[in-house]
Amino acid sequence: MNSGNASKEGFTKDLKAIKEAGIGGVLVFNVSMGLPEGDVKYNSQEHRDILTHAAKECEKLGLSFGVHNCDGWTSSGGPWVTPENAMKVVVNSQVIVKGGKAINVKLPQPPARHNYYKDIAVLAYPSLETELIDENVNPIITSSDKSFKVALATDKQTNTHADLKAKGWVQFDYGKAHTIQSMNVFINKRKGRLTLLKSDDGVHFTVAHKPREERIGKDECYFYESFKPVTARYFRIQTEMDAGIYEMQLSASPVLGNIMEYTSYRKNRRPIGNIDAKAFIKKEDIIILTDKMDANGVLKTTLPKGNWTIIRFGFTASGATNEPSSDEGKGLEVDKFSKKALKVHYDAFVGKLVEQAKVDAPNALQYVEIDSYEVGPQNWTDDMEKLFQERFGYDFTPFLLMYAGKSVENKETVEAVFWDMKQLVSDLMVTNYFDYFTELCHQDGLISYIEPYGFVGPFNSLDAGRNADIPMGEFWLGKPNNHKRAAVSSGHIYGKNVISAEAFTSTKLNWGFHPALAKQKGDYEWTNGINEYMFHRFAHQSNTHVKPGMSMSFVGSHIDRTQTWWDNAGPEWFNYLARGSFMLRQGNPVLDVLVFVGDRAPSHVIHANQMRPKLPAAYKYDCVNSDVIVNRLTVENGKLKLPNGITYNALALQRHDIINLETLRGIHKLSQQGALIVGKKPKKLGGYNISKEMEAEFDALVKDIWSNERTYSNVDWEGIFKANNIHKDLIVEGQPDFNFYHRRTDNEDIYFVYNHNLTEADTLNCSFLVEGKVPELWNAETGEITRLVEYTNKNGRTDISIPLHPQESVFVVFKDPKEKQPKVTYTESNDLPKPTFSLDSDNNLQAEVYANGNYTAKINDLENWTIEVNDIPNPIQIKGNWEINFREQDFYKATIQTDKLFDWTTHKTEQIKHYSGTAIYKTTFNIEKGMLQSDRQFQLNLGKVNVIAKVILNGKEVGVSWISPHSLNITTALKEGENILEIQVTNQWTNRLIGDEKLPNQTGYEVRRGSPSYNARDENGKIKKMPDWYRNNQPLPEGPRKTFSAYSFQKATDELLPSGLLGPVTISTSKIIKK
């Protein structure tokens, strides 16, 4: 539900529509994003009453019901989360003092957010030369934006910011030539696009550096990096877009390469890079002065002669909040390293809802979800240094300097210590957040849905999914993304059969969406291992009168009960997805390779194009982590095997140049059991505390593994597979990158294949790695099963040619034969369409023939079967005499007669031109006496349809056609003599919405980007409330407009979408010949 616009009446109507359409359940989010907030306050008694009502309705209807764990979609937070229980990050402040005398200095408190700060340690070391340079310069800072508050952007605090307009700049004038090596700019936008410019005269500027855009959270971005020394008098930081700058700094001192990633602000895996030897600080020179500072931050101590840099380290709240959320639901994100904090968060909303819902609907609330992680970094929590010491056996305190971008000892030391710390960060988040969340759900009798990924998440993705009851991925329409592999692989390697996905997310289709636009993408995601679709999104319609109604601002495919196609194409599409998902939950997936993602935290999954060398597309793979290698994998008959029975032919090692000893021991165990292992030798062990004994064991294990004849360090996939008798599971002629999926039960092999071509029919010449079984084609669109007789067996494979329409898909099911079945070989005839040979329900051989002519086939390579057909009638052309009824419920009642089918948008009548909904076409045609025979099948071909057609013939519903080619079997509905044909044609909302944009707006409301009401905000920056009539669940006020969309997508000048039945409409005949 959007922005607290909710009602019990709306939920009752929504859920009834969902049930009737064939959807199995709902996951309720509250999202506040670009639309006015309603009256229902998040987590209020009213809010929980409405959710409990929805739960009761679901229980009554037989729907499953669940909620997201907080307001917004990311990640886990709310106003009940205090700074003490919030996500935490390390912060620091720096001073330079002269030693050789008593020191009494007040150390500035590092930047604090939400008035929360706790000290960690105070460290001192001999000042670096570049630090002294920074200490002694005082540039004049000005801006192109006269309102820019320089003081706010340079006060070393991150709880305030200074606004800089797009194309604006901030200038640093050093008075003379000055050399800098790093920049640090922190802004309040997810994207910033900054450029560092330089000039010697303050007039003519050139590019000095283009920093990487480092989005670290939902709406924050850091530019913090080193670069080659640049010398100039003037420097400018220029932005391409409006930005609020928390802090900005240019420095003569370099910082650690890719510091944002090593300190857990980002999860990319770029190396530290080369470090200037002058920038290293010897560990032995670091002095810990923590106990010399009092509670007021005053340091009293003595230090040897010379300049000393003193850094005060502490931690504060990261400031991340759950987004996009309402005022009442927004708050700090909970500490992901603390079970205690997560329990407080869970109890504040989920716990209360569970308590209330179980009274009124004890079996209704079934699941709770954590969505994609987009809330940025966490790298500290209470007693972190103690946790580190207990885990790794050494004191992290001296290495805190690395959090300030300093280099300690040498590059190898920096990498080794960060290796340990980032492992701890990931393990704490996985154990105390993701794992514990599932534990809390189980305590309440619920199951967990978890999206175990996030582009800024400092955690190992496969680990995060290990305890999820249902791991969940994500995919978009019209936009590539790689957010499925973590869910799919973690699901497989941890034995989860159902793998869900946030499905069909989009930002462009809005009310123009219809199921055919999602068909191929859905098919493709099935081949990635997804077998449950959680639609993104269905908008709760709190006002039960308006159409099309509420939206989720501009985000999401509009899969709504108010869609024009909901009652006709909706159930057909949903049934298709249900049948296919059911098929893809049978047995286990058949996969070829397990790809180890490496031990370096945070590890994330490896996509096919990231593998080095690339795995051929014909081979399927899962990603695997150390835990599964060590604890869940065994080897059986040369194959890697999981406890749930999934097997793999090989273990491919990636990102393993540095490795943990425990992982290497696990790989060695598998090698000893006979596993096929592919990958180069690792170079060394990860971590700082590596003993000589550990190094000796590392050397011995590596030698043993890589001397095994089934270990390959030179990766030639095709050569390795050939040498080990590993064959491609499916070969499709001419399509080496063909997408498919294969699952195996005790008795069946189930393949899913689809035509990748959106516009052209294709025959897939398939070779399956199956023998001794008989194939059937299962059509998930219709539920029909065709028992095949045209196939060949050779060399352990089964070859089948499968003709498919554009976008058509089919399941190929191989079964053990119960009795001997005939096989047919057809002799092609160039001028005749190929018959379809199959077995009927009584196991009799039959052929469906589509044109008159002579056909020849051979049965079991022995018996010739000659078929002569000469009585198939010519196609019937249904022309003229069309009555078209436009419906009052779709805002225009009219009946017109036409002899020619036309696109509604070309009609002279404005109401027809902009008509959206369903129009009913009626006509009659004659079937001659004797034409209907028991061996004939009749197909109604509708030609071009925009976009959906439901056919009723002689009062009998024939079916709904929602995807091209629009053709339906009408055999059982035909009769001799006059036949009455009704075709209900449905288009999208788009045209009516465009038409209404041309009319005066009586609603008192409009929200679109740039509109007056979109920019008319209250004192809190929120869009003003929905109109009273909407909030009070009243009909649209009388006036010229007929539609109401909570977000206005269309403009009066937009191009109309083709609509209506264009034909040609024909009836074709085929004949069934029994052998």
Determine how β-strand 365-370 pairs with β-strand 447-450: parallel
Cα 988 to Cα 888: distance, rounded to the nearest angstrom: 16
Angle, helices 692-706 vs 661-672, to 10°: value is: 30
pLDDT of residue 327: 92
Residue ranges of the chain that CATH labels 2.60.40.1180: 730-867
Instruction: Write down the pLDDT at residue 1015.
Output: 46
3-state secondary structure of 627: helix
Q: In terms of CATH, what superfamily is 730-867?
A: Golgi alpha-mannosidase II (2.60.40.1180)
Query: For the residues 163-167, what does the mean pLDDT come to?
Result: 94
> Is pLDDT at 436 greater than 80 in this prediction?
yes
Residue with tokens 């898909």: 809
Q: Could you report the per-residue pLDDT of 888-915, keeping only the tens digit for each? A: 999 999 999 999 999 999 999 999 999 9
Q: Are 960 and 986 in contact (CB under 8 A)?
A: no
Helix-strand-coil split of the chain, %, nearest 5: 25, 30, 45
pLDDT of residue 28: 98
- In the predicted structure, residue 268 carries a pLDDT above the cut 80: no
Which pLDDT score, from 0 to 100, does residue 190 have?
80
Q: Homologous superfamily of 876-990+1059-1070 in CATH?
A: Galactose-binding domain-like (2.60.120.260)
Q: Is the pLDDT of residue 140 over 50?
A: yes
Cα–Cα distance list, 158 to 110, 111, 185, 612, 682 (Å): 10, 6, 11, 41, 42
Q: What is the CATH number of domain 8-82+321-583?
A: 3.20.20.80
Mean pLDDT of the chain: 96
Q: pLDDT tens digit string along 296-318?
A: 999 999 999 999 999 999 999 99
Distance CA 221, CA 233 (A): 27
CA 432 remoteness from chain centre? 23
What string of DSSP letters covers 90-143? EEEEEEEEE-SSEEEEEPPPPP-BTTB-EEEEEEEEEPPHHHHHHHT---EEEE
Task: Identify which has the larger pLDDT, 241 or 1013.
Answer: 241
82-112: pLDDT as tens digits = 999 999 999 999 999 999 999 999 999 999 9
Domain span(s) for CATH 2.60.120.260 in the chain:
138-251, 876-990+1059-1070
Q: Which of helix, strand or coil describes residue 244?
A: strand
Mean of the pLDDT values across residues 653-667?
98
CB 205 within 8 A of CB 160: no
pLDDT of 429: 99
Q: Token pair 């006709």 is at which residue?
A: 568
| Two tokens, residue 630 | 């060590």
pLDDT of residue 630: 99
Domain boundaries for CATH 3.20.20.80 within the chain: 8-82+321-583
Residue by residue, DSSP assigns 662-715 as HHHHHHHHHHHTT--EESPPP-EE-SS---HHHHHHHHHHHHHHHTSTTEESS-
Q: Which residues lie across from 785 on neighbouring strands? A: 778
Q: Residues spanned by CATH 3.40.50 within the chain?
A: 590-722
pLDDT of residue 608: 87
pLDDT exceeds cutoff 90 at 846: yes
- Annotate 732-798 with DSSP letters as a single string: ETT-TT---EEEE-SSEEEEEEE---SSS-EEEEEEES--S-EEEEE-TTT--EEEE---EEETTEE
pLDDT tens for each residue of 525-581: 999 999 999 999 999 999 999 999 999 988 999 999 999 999 999 999 999 999 999
Which helix (H) or strand (E) is 994 found in, with range?
helix 990-997
Asked if residues 471 and 440 have their Cβ atoms less than 8 Å apart, the reply is: no
Q: What is the pTM of this model?
A: 0.96
* CA pair distance 244, 185, nearest whole angstrom: 10
138-251: CATH architecture? Sandwich (2.60)
Task: Concatenate the DSSP letters of all residues of 29-57 into one string.
Answer: --B-SSS---S--TTSHHHHHHHHHHHHH
Model confidence at 1021: pLDDT above 70: no
Q: Which tens digit of pLDDT belongs to each residue from 578-592?
A: 999 999 999 999 999
Going by pLDDT thresholds of 50, 70 and 90, the confidence category of residue 213 is confident
Q: What are phi and psi of 120, to 5 degrees?
A: -115, -55
With 80 as the cut, is the pLDDT of residue 214 above it? no
- The yes or no reply on domain 590-722 and CATH 3.40.50 is yes
Q: Which of 400, 411, 408, 414 is nearest to 126 (CA)?
A: 408
Q: Does residue 965 have a cis peptide bond before it, meaning omega lies within 30 degrees of 0?
A: yes
* Confidence at residue 320, expressed as pLDDT on a 0 to 100 scale: 95
Residue-level pLDDT at 275: 85
pLDDT confidence of residue 479: 84
3-state secondary structure labels for all residues of 364-413: CEEEEEECCCCCCCCCECCCHHHHHHHHHCCCCHHHHHHHHCCEECCHHH
pLDDT given at position 1020: 57
Contacts of 956 (CB under 8 A, 6+ apart): 972, 973
Contact call for residues 589 and 577 (beta carbons, < 8 A)? no
Q: Which pLDDT score is estimated for 222?
A: 87
Say how far apart CA 448 and CA 189 lie, in whole Å. 32
What average pLDDT does the segment 918-946 reach?
A: 98
339-342 contacts: CB < 8 A, separation 24 or more? Answer: 339/432, 339/436, 340/85, 341/81, 341/85, 341/86, 342/76, 342/432, 342/433, 342/436, 342/437, 342/440
| pLDDT tens digits, one per residue of 779-838 | 999 999 999 999 999 999 999 999 999 999 999 999 999 888 999 999 888 789 999 999
Nearest to 338 by CA among 435, 460, 262: 435
pLDDT at 728 over 60: yes
Contact predicate 342/70, CB 8 Å: no
